[in-house]
Structure 1
Amino acid sequence: MAFSLGIIIILGLIFNKLFEKIKLPGLLGLLILGILMGPYGMDLLGEDMLSASGDLRKIALIVILLRAGLGIRREDLKKNGISAFKMSFIPGVIEGFTIAFISIKLLGFTFIQGGILGFIIAAVSPAVVVPSMLKMINKGLGKEKGVPTLIVAGASIDDVFAITIFGVFLSLYSGERLLEK
């Protein structure tokens, strides 16, 4: 597993730099690398790496959210905290439930299945938002009104809401499936 992890990291750095040199987001290169190396591509990863991938994703999310938290200054959060909360909670919940109701009407999903889909889509990707906003903070852009801090805090809180509500719907779905058996 250590060898596979080392290969992933080295190739990830190479793909990231390569895509940035051709003026494309490095994250796109990492996604393409993951598809190529994964079980639906060239299947280069060992079974142990695939079984540990869930834990690795959680670790990556924790690192990204820690970076977000460490990049926020207390004064900026006090100034924009309520706005960040509103910016995260209200659009995230409305988006998730809107997708849920549309999937019920258009796709014939149950409310629980629609909720799962809605809150998968409603989650803001911290892998995209946090590094971009931390770069803006370091450059001093939007510092006067604390815009990057507002967005980082809003995106982080939005993820917590979306993941929590997704977990609730997934638990309801799992319980429903157990009752059917």
Structure 2
Amino acid sequence: MSGVVIAGYIFGHTLERYTAIHPVVGMTLAGALYRQFGPPNFLDNPSADLIDFHLRRIYPVIILTKGPLTWNWEYIKNNSVKVFSLATLPWIVECLSTAFFAHILLDYPWYWGLHLGSILASVSPAIVAPPLYKFDERGIGTKSQIAPVVLNAGGIDTAFTEGVCGVINSAIFYPAPLVYRIVKGLLAIFVGIALGIFWGVLSDCLPDHSDIYAPTIRSLLIFGGGLLLTYAGGYLGWGGT
């Protein structure tokens, strides 16, 4: 399994070095080739499922903790409608399109199509962002401020994906009546916002601002709280909060 990861990393970045293709494409291609032609022994190993389970809980915390640090909050505040529209509307179109074609062409149930769409819709920012950095360095699109709009919208798109995908995932796999799962999925969004605000205020107030270790303590509180809420939400069937 480690060999597949290393091979995908090397192949993806080698492809990026000699072409304009994003490394994610090369990594995905390496994984697809191994899935088709390689031995599936590690896929049948229970430890692979355990590692996958914990990685799926940890990586959203890292992404959603690190991502907002790169956002231009002043720009988002002044262009909120433009940024949030670009972050959500294309995502919704991609998700619904994937669900529709998965249902029509592959005969997937609608809820599985939505689950697949919520995963695939998150790929676009990762593909678009690197070329935008290069264009911005060359001065292309600087007058229209294309890069700030797309990059900030891409970060919010990722956060939106994590929340909605978690809600859909818990709605599918958590055993409960359908009406309860739908209502719970809608409530999970607002519960997550409330918990995030509460933990953010707590992390800001708890360490004294004059303490030289305050930034470290605050970072650990945010990361630890994110892990705690992610595991607790998944255990209780409130994924996406």
Give the conservation status (yes or no) of the 8 Å contact 1:124–1:155: no
Residue of structure 1 in register with 2:81 after alignment: 82
Give the conservation status (yes or no) of the 8 Å contact 2:100–2:113: yes
Once the two structures are TM-superposed, the CA of residue 147 in structure 1 deviates from its matched residue by: 0.9
Residue of structure 1 in register with 2:16 after alignment: 20
Distance of 2:128 and 2:159 partners within structure 1:
14
Distance of 1:14 and 1:76 partners within structure 2:
36
> What letter is aligned with 1:162?
T
Query: 1:143 is paired with a residue of what secondary structure?
Result: coil
Distance of 1:161 and 1:14 partners within structure 2:
30
Once the two structures are TM-superposed, the CA of residue 12 in structure 1 deviates from its matched residue by: 5.1
Distance of 2:33 and 2:102 partners within structure 1:
31
**2:168 paired with 1:169:** yes
Give the conservation status (yes or no) of the 8 Å contact 1:37–1:44: no
Residue of structure 2 in register with 1:148 after alignment: 147
Superposed, 1:1-181 pairs within 5 Å as 4=2, 8-9=5-6, 11=7, 14-23=10-19, 25=21, 26-35=23-32, 41=38, 51-53=50-52, 55-56=54-55, 69-101=68-100, 103-104=102-103, 108-176=107-175
Distance of 2:79 and 2:115 partners within structure 1:
30
Unaligned residue ranges in structure 1 (runs of 5+): none
Unaligned residue ranges in structure 2 (runs of 5+): 178-241
> What letter is aligned with 1:166?
C
Q: 1:132 and 1:40, CA in 2 relative to 1: closer, same or farther beyond 3 A?
A: same
| Structure 2 length-normalised TM | 0.52
Q: 1:57 and 1:78, CA in 2 relative to 1: closer, same or farther beyond 3 A?
A: same
Give the conservation status (yes or no) of the 8 Å contact 2:132–2:147: yes
Query: 2:128 is paired with a residue of what secondary structure?
Result: helix
> What letter is aligned with 1:18?
T
> What letter is aligned with 2:79?
N
- How many residue pairs were aligned? 175
Give the conservation status (yes or no) of the 8 Å contact 1:64–1:127: no
Distance of 2:112 and 2:131 partners within structure 1:
32
Distance of 1:106 and 1:39 partners within structure 2:
22
> What letter is aligned with 2:11?
F
Once the two structures are TM-superposed, the CA of residue 56 in structure 1 deviates from its matched residue by: 4.8
Once the two structures are TM-superposed, the CA of residue 85 in structure 1 deviates from its matched residue by: 0.2
Give the conservation status (yes or no) of the 8 Å contact 1:84–1:154: yes
Once the two structures are TM-superposed, the CA of residue 125 in structure 1 deviates from its matched residue by: 3.6
> What letter is aligned with 1:31?
T
Once the two structures are TM-superposed, the CA of residue 148 in structure 1 deviates from its matched residue by: 1.0
